[in-house]
Amino acid sequence: MKCPRCRLENPPGGIRCDCGYDFPSGQMKESYVLQHQEARARIASSDRAWAGILPRLAAVLIDWFIIVVALIPVLLVFGFVGDPLGAVARLRPILESSVGAVLGTLYFAACEASPWRGTPGKKLLALTVQGSAGERIGILRSIWRKVCKQLSGLLFPVAFCLVAFSHERRCLHDYLAGTWVSRPRR
């Protein structure tokens, strides 16, 4: 299906072209267009650029390393090393349940909604999570981003590969939450 506005060839049954043209209504969706044009213009004119897959992956690895190091004292206190008191058997259901997922979601969401605009791993690599106007995202949007990230990881592992191929270096969870991850321009 060819867009009548920009002449871009879109997949059959597409709802909206990349230029913002809405096929069902036959109109431009200005809010969508302005949001993306403003974000692109702001990044193009700033000292920031879109963060690619390698810095984002490195930030995740740093975050998981920090979490594991932070858990070592907990593991020692509760007897996970060697499990002399049977603590593993008692705590495993809690750690493997949704409690662990909720705690992880809150950790990442709180970090991304903080003034740092990202987790410690992102901060070390100078990456920031931002909204379409370059603003810090709120806690609810950050929680939604993390939930979308977990769901896309479970359902569509390929969704993370979007960052390598999309112009704005965004993953599926970034599109769903309306967020961008940026880095300093080289």
H-helix or E-strand spanning residue 27: strand 27-28
H-helix or E-strand spanning residue 186: none
What is the model's pTM? 0.68
| Amino acid 145: pLDDT | 94
- The stretch 156-182 carries a mean pLDDT of 85
Q: What share of the chain is helix, strand, coil (3-state, %, to 5)?
A: 55, 10, 35
Summary mean pLDDT of the chain? 79
Report residue 17: phi and psi, to 5°.
Answer: -80, 160
44-75 pLDDT, tens per residue? 656 778 898 899 999 999 998 888 787 777 66
The two tokens of residue 143 are 């929680």
Q: Are 111 and 119 in contact (CB under 8 A)?
A: yes
153 pLDDT tier (thresholds 50, 70, 90): confident
Helices (H) and strands (E) in the chain, counts: 8, 5
The residue ranges of every structural domain in the chain are 50-184
Report which residue type is found at 184. P
The answer to which of 9-13, 80-84, 129-133, 159-163 has the lowest mean pLDDT is 80-84
